[in-house]
Amino acid sequence: MTTTILFDLDGTVIDSTEAILEGFRVSFEKFDITVPSDEIIKSHIGKTLDDMFKEMGVTDSNLIDKLVDSYKMHYRTIHLEKTKLLDGAKEAIKEANKFAILGVVTTKTGKYSAEILRHLGVMDYFRTLVGREHVTYPKPHAQPILKALENLNHKKKDTVWMIGDTPMDILSASNAGVNSVAVTSGYASYVELNRCASKICTDVSEAVKYIKNYDAIYK
């Protein structure tokens, strides 16, 4: 049986907090809207941009579209400079590649995600990348994970794992019928993750080790 590991990006593999916060500040200021605190913005990372702006009080759909466009225009100028791999992430990806097929499932725009991963020297480890523009329904819906498995022609769900840092990652895995591991290296608290995750690790390195050992015992 072949193991497949699907990775979330923000808070799981990469840290693009600085770029995300700057993108929101620039967008809110452009339209003369009070900028939420950094903590409020960070609490919504992992959701779609539309939903993030809604959650932060913007109700006009036309204004949301303009804010999203403004965010993307600025983000694309800074996303490479202001994104880095989390500690141990590259080593974890390389280790996972030794025993599993790897993919990325993210709510970020896939185009930017691929650019970031290439810039950070890890894109070649992933055989598929599913971003926001590739699906109709983002996480926590099952569609992003199912799309990744379709791309990989992987049909045996009990050998599939999703690693992510938010309840949306874990719920997406549950809805898709695959295994999951939550990590506390990102934007959700242990308490939030504990409500939906059966396994919680400190970071992606520990998560990969857990999956490798799990496979060694049960496969």
In this prediction, residue 155 carries a pLDDT of: 83
d(CA 106, CA 6): 9
- Reply yes or no on whether the pLDDT at 141 is more than 70: yes
d(CA 21, CA 212): 35
Q: What is the average per-residue pLDDT within 176-180?
A: 97
Render pLDDT for 60-90 as a digit per residue (tens, 0 to 9). 999 999 999 999 999 999 999 999 999 999 9
Q: What is the average per-residue pLDDT within 178-187?
A: 97
- Reply yes or no on whether the pLDDT at 1 is more than 90: no
Q: What is the average per-residue pLDDT within 137-147?
A: 97
- Reply yes or no on whether the pLDDT at 32 is more than 70: yes
Q: Domains of the chain (ranges plus CATH)?
A: 3-15+84-218 (3.40.50.1000), 17-78 (1.10.150.240)
d(CA 13, CA 48): 18
In this prediction, residue 216 carries a pLDDT of: 67
Rounded to 5°, the CA angle 144-150-155 comes to 110
More confident residue, 156 or 23: 23
In this prediction, residue 193 carries a pLDDT of: 97
In this prediction, residue 133 carries a pLDDT of: 96
